[in-house]
Structures are given as structure tokens and as C-alpha cells.
Structure 1
Amino acid sequence: MNVSTRAVLTAAAAAAVAGAAVLGEATLVAVAGALVLALSVGWPVLLDLPTRLGSSVVIALGGAGGVIAVTATQGQPYLRELPVVVALAVLLSFVNELARQDGRHRLVESVTGTVAGVLVVTAAAGWVATGRAPVGDALVISGAVALALGAGVSAVPLGGWLAALVTTAAAMLGGGAVGAVMPVLDTLAGALLGLAVGILVAALHVLFDALPALERRTAGVAALLLPVSVSGIVVYVVGRVLVG
């Protein structure tokens, strides 16, 4: 899966998040759950972890637990139970290593990769938390549109700092445009939200797009969904700062 294809599919996934926000909380929870499932399968392949099945199970349980915890939490802050879920998933990652029967080679790499996967998938719960917050639908749509534009522009082969700047600018433009038409937001808030998402997309593009594992389909899916999942927590935090 080449860079252009991944960029287009990332933009499509971001558009799906925006559409889910319009359709309601249940749809947004379902989309977050789908992100968790896809990432839990592809993440161990992307990082070439030694025990892919065990790591996938731990990551899936952590991500699903995060989405369920955020959905069930009554009253703000909606992410207050998420650290407990992450802590339990980290403990589970050690149990996974204790259960290995292969000599536990590459132990540190396996643990750190699995824990990193847990953090990535639990971030998807941020979309659910954002959607439940005041003016949450507007924040989700603004962040998702910024992500879609930033991801789409990242496919342009500019290279270096120019590519990062263009990606961030496109995300700011998308977020600002949505903020301008949303009665509960404004252009500045939308643009700042787009700035945060754009920096994230540009950074992940640099970090992961050169990995040889991306030749595998499941790894490519994980890479293209990575910005969508991580943006969930970014949009929630920035949205809380900007609009409360």
C-alpha cells in the first residue's frame, strides 16, 4: 500500500468519524470500536512484534475497555476512568509475556510495542468523549475535517519541512473553515484545533511512512488509521482548552 493510497484512506476514515458525529453517539462509539479492532490486528505487524496474537489481544482489550469506560462515564471529565483501563492493559501486557513459551526473545521490544499499541488504541476513545461534551459534535466534525484535509495533502511528494508545513496549513484551513460555519465555534478555535491535528499528521507521516512492514496489508491499514485514532485524544484535549 503506497503513500498516496494510505493518505486517501486516512482522509476517508476521518470523514467517517465526522459522519458518525452527525448520526449520533452510538454510531461514533461503533466507529471508535472499529478503529480499535483494525489497529489491534495491524499494530503488531507494523512494529514486527514477536508475539502478534498475544499483543493483538492485549491491545484490543485495552482499546475496547477504553471506549466502553468513556461511554459509561457519567459527567465530565469523560476520560477520568481511562487511566485505570490503560494501567490494567499494561499489567495484561506483562501477563502476556509471562505466558510466552518461545524463550521470550526480544522481550523489551515486545512489551514496549504492546504498551504503545494500547496507548494508540485507547486514544480513539477521545472521539467518544469529545462527542459527549458540550458542542462536542462541532468539535468532532472540525477535528475530523482538519484531519482529512491534512492527511490528503500529506500524499503530495513535497518532502522535508515543506511537506510538514503544507500538511499543517491544510489542516488549519479545514478546521478554521468548519469553525467559521459552526454557530458554537469560531474560526480561531477551529484553526487552532486544525493546527494541533496537522502537526500530529505531519509527525506521524515522518515517523512511520518509511517502515518496511508497510508492504503488508494489515500493517498498512494500521498506519493509515493511526492518525485517526490518536487525533481523538488530541481533539478532546484541545477542545476542552478552547471551548471548555
Structure 2
Amino acid sequence: MKSWSIGVFGLVALIAIVASTFVSREAMVGVGIAASAAVGIGWPHFLGVPAKKTLAAVIGLAGAGSAVTAAYLPAPGFLEGTPAFIAVGVMAVFVVQLVRGTGQAQRLESTLGCCAGVLLNCLGAGWIAGARFNGVKEMVLVAGLSAAVALMVGIIRWPDRIVAPLGVVMAGLMGPLAGLVFSDIAVLPAALVGVVVGSVLVSFRRMTTLRRGRLNIPAAVGMGVAPVWAVGALVYFIDKLLIY
């Protein structure tokens, strides 16, 4: 698929994630499970490693479990279940590699890459935690708008040396603007959220451009959803540390 399609998938996922936080807890859980499944299925395809179905199940279930616990654990420990699911997911990845046996192809790449996939997928629960934190969803909206700007800049077919700084700057400017228009969030936290979110998203764009060969649909969907889903934890912790 074309590289710009990854950004489109990311935008669709972002809209669903942010919209669900304004609907209900059940909607957040449903979108979280769907996002976790998309990342779980697509990440092994993007890496091009063997045992895709088994590793997809491990990555997807870890992320889904983290999302569900973030939705139902009592305050203030919204993400207390996330480290456990990260640990279980990483151990499951190692077990899969042990079962595959010695001498199998791409064992190291598969292990490291899928452990990273587990981490990214579990961090997405931060969107749910951020929406539940103090019952105020303005930071989720600010982060969502900043991420949308970074994704739209990333769709432009310009060299990375231009798109990367442009995406970070535009996201950093959108944060304070969205904060002033849609909430009473101070300029500094809003700008920090924009810069951090933009930096993560343009970094993943660079990963995509460095990968050789065309991406199939699962890989494109997974790579589009993964960074958008993973920045949820950053949004939550910035909200908690700088605003609360």
C-alpha cells in the first residue's frame, strides 16, 4: 500500500479514540480492544517475522487487557494493571520463541520487535486513563488535535528532513491553540503535549520510510494505529504531572 495510507489509518483511529472518550466507558473499551487488535495483527506483518498469528494474539491480548483494566480499575490507579500485562506479554513472546526452537529464522528480530509491540500496545490504555482522570477530557482533545495535525503533515509526500521538524512545530503550535479555544489548559502543558505527540508520530513515519518493500493491508493498518494508540500514556502522564 502507499505510505500515505498509513497516515489515513492513523487519523481514522485517532478520531475513534478521541470520540469514544466523550461517549461512554463501554465505547472506550470497545475502541481500545479494536485498536489493540489492529496493532496486534499488523505489528508482526510490519516486522516481517515468522509466527505472525501467535505473536499477533500475544500483542493484541496484552493491549486489550491493559485497556480493559484502565477502564475499570478505581482511581487513582488507572494504569496499575498495565505493567502486569506488559510483563505477561513480554514473557509470552519469549515462550513463543522457545517453542519455535533453536535455529529458527529471525528469532532475535522477532523477540525484540514483538516485545516493543507489546509495550506500545499496552501504553495505549493511557487514553482511557486520561479520559477518566478527574473526569476532565480537555487534555485528550488537545492531544488529539495535535496528533491530527502531525498525521496530516506526515501524509505530505515531502522528504523526512522537511516533514519531521514541520510536524513537530505544527503539533506544538496546535496544542496551545486548542488549549485556548477548547479549554483553560495553560500554554506550557498544551505545547509540551503537542511537541511530544508530534515527535512520536513523525518518528514512526521515519520508521515506515526506512522499511524496504511495500506494506500489505494489516501492516499498514497496524503501523498507522500503533503510534496513535501508544501516545495515550504520554498524554495521561503529562496531564497528571503538569496540570493536576
Normalised by the size of structure 1, how large is the TM-score?
A: 0.92
Aligned to 1:181: 181
Q: Distance in 1 between matches of 2:237 and 2:201?
A: 16
Matched, 1:61 2:61: yes
Aligned to 1:52: 52
Aligned to 1:202: 202
Aligned to 2:233: 233
Aligned to 2:128: 128
Q: Please state whether the residue corresponding to 1:212 is helix, strand or coil.
A: coil
Q: Distance in 2 between matches of 1:214 and 1:226?
A: 18
Q: Which runs of 4+ in 1 moved over 6 A?
A: none
Q: Please state whether the residue corresponding to 2:210 is helix, strand or coil.
A: coil
Aligned to 2:221: 221
* Letter aligned with residue 178 of structure 1: A
Q: Distance in 2 between matches of 1:67 and 1:25?
A: 11
Q: Distance in 1 between matches of 2:100 and 2:111?
A: 12
Matched, 1:109 2:98: no
* CA RMSD in angstroms, aligned pairs only: 1.9
Q: Please state whether the residue corresponding to 2:26 is helix, strand or coil.
A: helix
Once the 2 structures are TM-superposed, how far is the Cα of residue 240 of structure 1 from its aligned partner?
Answer: 1.6
Once the 2 structures are TM-superposed, how far is the Cα of residue 66 of structure 1 from its aligned partner?
Answer: 0.9
Using the TM superposition, name which of 35-44 and 233-242 deviates more. Answer: 233-242
Once the 2 structures are TM-superposed, how far is the Cα of residue 44 of structure 1 from its aligned partner?
Answer: 0.5
Aligned to 1:168: 168
> Structure 1 pair 132/2, CA: closer, same or farther in 2 (3 Å)?
same
Q: Distance in 2 between matches of 1:238 and 1:200?
A: 14
Using the TM superposition, name which of 98-107 and 77-86 deviates more. Answer: 98-107
Once the 2 structures are TM-superposed, how far is the Cα of residue 102 of structure 1 from its aligned partner?
Answer: 8.4
Aligned to 1:23: 23
> For 1:86-101, what aligned pairs fall within 5 Å after superposition?
86-100=86-100
Matched, 1:148 2:155: no
Q: Distance in 2 between matches of 1:186 and 1:24?
A: 27
> Structure 1 pair 94/9, CA: closer, same or farther in 2 (3 Å)?
closer
Contact 1:62 1:86 in 2 (8 A): yes
Deviations, residues 121-169 of structure 1 (Å, cap 9, x unaligned):
1111111111110254111111111111110011223324321121012
> Structure 1 pair 232/214, CA: closer, same or farther in 2 (3 Å)?
farther
Q: Distance in 2 between matches of 1:57 and 1:179?
A: 38
What is the total number of aligned residue pairs between the two structures? 244
Q: Distance in 2 between matches of 1:186 and 1:15?
A: 24
Aligned to 2:43: 43
> Structure 1 pair 162/32, CA: closer, same or farther in 2 (3 Å)?
same
Once the 2 structures are TM-superposed, how far is the Cα of residue 85 of structure 1 from its aligned partner?
Answer: 1.4
Query: What are the ranges of 5 or more consecutive residues in structure 1 without an aligned counterpart?
Result: none
Aligned to 2:2: 2
Q: Distance in 1 between matches of 2:88 and 2:56?
A: 15
Q: Distance in 1 between matches of 2:120 and 2:230?
A: 6
Using the TM superposition, name which of 98-107 and 58-67 deviates more. Answer: 98-107
Deviations, residues 167-196 of structure 1 (Å, cap 9, x unaligned):
012212322222112334233322221111
Once the 2 structures are TM-superposed, how far is the Cα of residue 212 of structure 1 from its aligned partner?
Answer: 3.0
Q: Distance in 2 between matches of 1:73 and 1:222?
A: 27
Q: Distance in 2 between matches of 1:41 and 1:9?
A: 14
Once the 2 structures are TM-superposed, how far is the Cα of residue 80 of structure 1 from its aligned partner?
Answer: 2.2
* Letter aligned with residue 206 of structure 2: V
Contact 2:58 2:92 in 1 (8 A): yes
* Letter aligned with residue 188 of structure 1: L
Q: Distance in 2 between matches of 1:106 and 1:12?
A: 32
